[in-house]
Structure 1
């Protein structure tokens, strides 16, 4: 099997699964309970929080454990909107966001908020200058992805964060789900107030994640109850999930720092070079994008046809965001980048992990060529 759909989800590491199983079996008490068993679980949870903070170099108090990217983005965007609506209802984002940002902003429009969807370049990016021009007196939030989940564009979030330091009342939220462990991001001193991470994108478990919330960022909680997670996320904590997430975070950070030969870049460059030589293929990923994502189109061929053909060879890729992959219409990201309909509706995404190999990439290229050729012969 060749698994090239790592931006949709990754295979959990065995160590991560083991940590979840052991904690679930041995530390099952409620961490809010005042008896000794509850106290032990609370200590384990807080130890995990400290470890997570150390791994991404932020204060312990800024760590909020969540169920993943969608919850994190909703908590950040709606939390800011509801908390600060008295001083403004204007939010800035881009036209090429993940559904958990795009649709969340859309939901707020129904509540009277005004959203500015900044246009992106053909590479899927905006500039810090564009963001600054869009800021108004009633702007309360700027929200965007660090790495685009479909085509791998890298937004200049560090530059945008620097600009936003001049506007302390405008909070900055970054969705770093696709970049974690692959595209470096420094949070402390960056101007980023809130940042979303997800476990299942880094060989962790689904239903685990983390939200970084700076001390200066005040959020209205979406869940009310026992005031767990600093009052931002009430409900009995998923301690096993938190511990397993931190295990996955530690492993991906170790892998990121040890990649002197940069396996992701080698895989990326090999595949890009091969695709450039195929006349039926149009590459959508920018040259300076993330190394673990390669997005391309085969105009005239429905993407599900190629995906089905490759699946028969146990090669697995995808079209766009897994959250919208069953919607076979054109990609809103490619449309935002100015791609024509035949390109925007025929996109295919290959996404690597550190576990993939150049031999797998070579096999994929050969099977892709066969799949395209077979379809062309059918049309003759």
Structure 2
């Protein structure tokens, strides 16, 4: 069992010194650090290209030895023992397009890190807020992050809604922990240390990670068998479709042996997910449901937002129940020549001259409308309970 700590040091030397002392006293095996003061030039430390994300493991600790899997702007990925660990920092000051680009890069890293079937742990300061993990606020970055996580097959490991960042202007939950489905059952004791001094406005997050299910099975001598009585075809199909959506990569795509191994791992992960669902752990089904909820919420927000831009558009038609059917209208089914003939008959073009008064016509006083009649008609119309606006 490896003990992990996760925090943001805000480039503070004092905060990094205090974290170093905490690691020694608590016997921490893996540190996931956002915005470190400095990244020591030693083999047990790895950092992102911009130095804003760093991973440290304890030499000879319970986690095992580490090695670099990849790094880029705002992220670093390492293989530590039997799992892949990715630390992320995304600045709150970048544009939304850059935020999306960050997530796209991370998706590729997560795919490659977990492609061999190893468990994947992702932590960091995403500077994104959603009611899923932060009860006080939600923003567009949080919506995008939820959709991205669902597409990557990751699950949130934050427990409760305790603030991870506390500042004079308010508190928030921006430090998040995610994991692959097979790693979820062996993550224990996730907690925010509210009373621990950090010399930073971010609190420590502490949890333990065990050996993933796949690795436990490999160490045994018995053949893996599945309980057919607990098999759920719908859950299995959902899990398998999500796994296959990535497709093989690298040697798994170019060699027969690699492709055979990838198919076996995909089937195994789908079976494991189905078993987890039967025991109530949720597995891929919870991921899909979370994605569905996020999509529905986004569609509703877009619909409400369109009221301001087009008050007589889709929202209005939904309310009055007069949305156009999927069938084509009469004019759309007619041939072009037939339609032109009908329109010319109904609306003659004339010779282009202005219309003149008919000869011999005389004004009839019976056609006249008095002021009192106009007022009476307006009063009668206002008395009717009809919503304003165009009538379809």
Verify same fold: TM over 0.5: no
Alignment TM-score, normalising by the size of structure 1: 0.22
More strand as a share of residues: 2
| Structure with greater Cα Rg | 2
The structure showing larger relative contact order (alpha-carbon pairs under 8 Å, at least 6 residues apart) is: 1
